[in-house]
């Protein structure tokens, strides 16, 4: 849900996701003069529950602890974009901004616009999308749990906080098969969570149909993990997908059983989340449930072939024939392995046709042509925010610039917790495979799923991607969370990098309006962000 309001020369635009709301502000030239920032007031989810949104920076003259939360009416937000992640799904919130003027210690306020928005549901509607929190090293985690190791059995509260409902939504989807009139089919790369097996055992005991296809390869540790976890389930409901590549799917299909015994697909769950503790608690991941029988039916058709034991070569032939890429026909489920990289060519086409903005979170090595399209060229006016996670580092993209920060924090930093990779191969913390174009229009395009946008993902691996267009509610959910991750790693860079703010330089607020200059410098990233995010346009312009 989006909302827009203007008052006293101040503009407020809100984009409501499920567990985050992105706020974009703007000011007239007159209101910019002397502006020390914005004080942002929030009411909700209960009426009368009013609080100021908080930042972590203070004026230079203040001596409070560095990077501790402070209300924005005391230390105003010196950005034209801010986000609120202290919200709940399917809840109403009212926001009001105040322009802050005067001087530190003698602040004065100008009442600005207010709007009311409602966050999206994770239990009803065509799309139900939920991101975990991940990033166990964040200051928010440390404030709540100190140095508690989220892997320790006694720290379930920490794991619940990191999951932020993703684990519960996954289990609820599997558990929806309540009796013999239901069926659930699961295609998964990493199957290690015992609670998923427990739920499926319960589903079977009710008389519902269950089928599972899991990754398998000779002399492969992941295959061993999968087989050990699935051992309690009867052999009749599970099939190994023997491949020399990777059976990289993470999807489930829920169906109703018809009087003739056939299945009527109802819903599909997809996204980037494996059934592992790393995926649910540590890595940044998403679950996307789409209650569309047609789309779910496409996934079920493929699953039937996989469960029947098709070898990868036959699967490729089947996908080429039965699931061709139809350019521009969205929503569309696209599968691999396939020939001629036609799925990635569609992705490239979507990226290069972006008009205003591009937000992405990707993992591992991309196809060169995909990476080139994502990065753009120096003349592009499309603003870009991106994170690319390899096994050793995270690279951020911001229009024409880049920054690199470690994917792993080996020691505490400004209250950050030392990160752990127990049970994880490599330092992968951004596990998303998501690309959003033209978010600041009414015609965004969303790409999500398991596909890593690499040559192997297209030609060798078993993968899926879901492409949706023209749904701003879905785009708002994705972008609000992806910008959370982008800002988190940009903050890490600024703290540690010699080319950033550096560890010896305290980050503080400006005590005048000079902070606004970069937002009014023509052709700059901040200029376009201020103008475009605060005023989304109709259509795709």
3-state secondary structure 405-465: EECCCCCCCCCCCCCCCCCCCCCCCECCCEEEECCCECCCEEEEECCCCCHHHHHCCEEEE
DSSP state of 512: S
User: Percent of the chain scored above 90 by pLDDT?
Assistant: 76
Backbone conformation region of residue 451, classed left if phi is above 0, alpha if psi is from -120 to 50, else beta: beta
- 8 Å CB contact between 42 and 72: no
Supply angle C-alpha 201, 168, 200, rounded to 5.
10
- The token pair at 281 is 């608690």
Nearest to 187 by CA among 234, 239, 139: 239
Average pLDDT along the chain:
90
Q: Which CATH number fits domain 127-327: 3.40.1360.10, 3.30.870.10, 2.60.40.10, 3.90.1150.10?
A: 3.30.870.10
* Lowest-pLDDT range of 67-81, 409-423, 446-460: 409-423
Checking if the pLDDT of 498 tops 60, the result is no
State in words which class domain 342-496 has.
alpha beta
d(CA 221, CA 216): 9
CATH superfamily of 2-120: Immunoglobulins (2.60.40.10)
Checking if the pLDDT of 306 tops 50, the result is yes
User: Percent of the chain scored above 70 by pLDDT?
Assistant: 90
| Model pLDDT for residues 138-183, shown as the tens digit of each residue | 667 777 887 777 778 899 999 999 999 999 999 999 999 999 999 9
* Lowest-pLDDT range of 197-206, 351-360, 483-492: 483-492
The predicted pLDDT at position 392 comes to: 60
Compute, in degrees rounded to 10, the torsion defined by CA atoms 223, 241, 337, 301. Answer: -140
Report the first-to-last Cα separation within the chain, whole angstroms. Answer: 21
Q: What is the DSSP string of 299-356?
A: HHHHHHHHHHT--HHHHHHHHHHHS---TT--SEEEEES-STTHHHHHHHHHHHT-SS
| Over residues 24-48, mean pLDDT | 97
Confidence tier at 423 by pLDDT (50, 70, 90)? very low
The predicted pLDDT at position 80 comes to: 98
**Where are the domains positioned within the chain?**
2-120, 127-327, 342-496
Predicted TM-score (pTM) of this structure: 0.93
Checking if the pLDDT of 216 tops 80, the result is yes
- 8 Å CB contact between 409 and 309: no
| Over residues 454-465, mean pLDDT | 97
Task: Provide the CA 327 distance to its chain's centre, in angstroms.
Answer: 25
The predicted pLDDT at position 391 comes to: 62
The predicted pLDDT at position 415 comes to: 38
Neighbours of 354 (CB within 10 A): 25
Q: Do the domains spanning 2-120 and 127-327 agree at the CATH topology level?
A: no
């Amino acid at each position: 849900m989006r909302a827009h309001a203007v008052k006293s020369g101040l503009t407020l635009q809100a984009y409501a996701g499920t567990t985050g709301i992105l706020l974009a502000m703007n000011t007239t030239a007159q209101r910019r003069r002397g502006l020390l920032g914005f004080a942002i007031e929030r009411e909700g989810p209960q009426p009368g529950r009013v609080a100021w949104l908080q930042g972590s920076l203070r004026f230079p003259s203040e001596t409070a602890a560095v990077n501790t939360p402070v209300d924005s009416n005391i230390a105003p937000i010196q950005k034209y974009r801010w986000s609120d992640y202290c919200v709940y799904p399917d809840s109403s919130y009212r926001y009001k901004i105040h322009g802050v003027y005067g001087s530190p210690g003698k602040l004065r306020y100008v009442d600005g616009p207010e709007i009311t928005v409602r966050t999206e549901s994770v239990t009803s509607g065509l799309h139900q999308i939920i991101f975990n929190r991940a990033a166990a090293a964040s200051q928010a985690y440390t404030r709540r749990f100190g140095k508690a190791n989220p892997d320790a059995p006694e720290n379930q509260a920490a794991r619940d906080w990191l999951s932020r409902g993703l684990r519960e939504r996954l289990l609820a989807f599997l558990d929806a098969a309540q009796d013999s009139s239901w069926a659930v089919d699961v295609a998964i790369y990493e199957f290690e969570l015992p609670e998923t097996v427990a739920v499926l055992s319960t589903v079977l005991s009710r008389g519902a149909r269950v089928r599972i296809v899991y990754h398998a390869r000779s002399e492969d540790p992941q295959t061993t993990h999968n087989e050990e976890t699935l051992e309690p389930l009867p052999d009749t409901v599970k099939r190994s997908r023997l491949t020399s590549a990777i059976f990289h799917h993470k999807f489930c299909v829920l169906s109703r059983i018809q009087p003739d015994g056939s299945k009527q697909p109802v819903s599909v769950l997809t996204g980037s989340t494996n059934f592992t503790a790393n995926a649910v608690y540590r890595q940044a991941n998403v679950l996307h449930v789409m209650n569309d029988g047609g789309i779910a039916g496409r996934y079920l058709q493929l699953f039937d072939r996989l469960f029947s034991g098709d070898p990868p070569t036959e699967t490729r032939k089947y996908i080429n024939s039965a699931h061709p890429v139809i350019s521009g026909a969205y929503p569309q489920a696209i599968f691999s392995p396939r020939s001629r990289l036609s799925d990635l060519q569609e992705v490239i086409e979507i990226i290069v046709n972006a008009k205003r903005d591009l937000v992405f979170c990707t993992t591992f090595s991309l196809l060169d042509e995909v990476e080139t399209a994502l990065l753009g060229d120096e003349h592009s006016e499309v603003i870009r925010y991106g994170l690319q996670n390899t096994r050793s580092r995270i690279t951020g993209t911001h229009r024409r610039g880049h920054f690199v920060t470690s994917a792993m924090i080996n020691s505490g930093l400004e209250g950050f917790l030392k990160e752990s990779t127990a049970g994880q191969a490599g330092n992968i913390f951004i596990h998303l495979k998501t690309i959003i174009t033209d978010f600041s229009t009414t015609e965004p395009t969303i790409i999500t799923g398991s596909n890593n946008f690499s040559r192997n993902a297209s030609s060798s691996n078993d993968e899926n991607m879901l492409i949706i267009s023209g749904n701003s509610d879905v785009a708002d959910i994705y972008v609000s969370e992806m910008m959370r991750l982008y800002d988190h790693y940009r903050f890490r860079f600024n703290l540690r990098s010699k080319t950033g703010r550096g560890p010896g330089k305290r980050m503080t607020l400006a005590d005048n309006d000079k902070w606004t200059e970069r937002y009014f410098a023509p052709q700059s990233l901040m200029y376009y962000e201020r103008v475009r995010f605060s005023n989304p346009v109709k259509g795709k312009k």
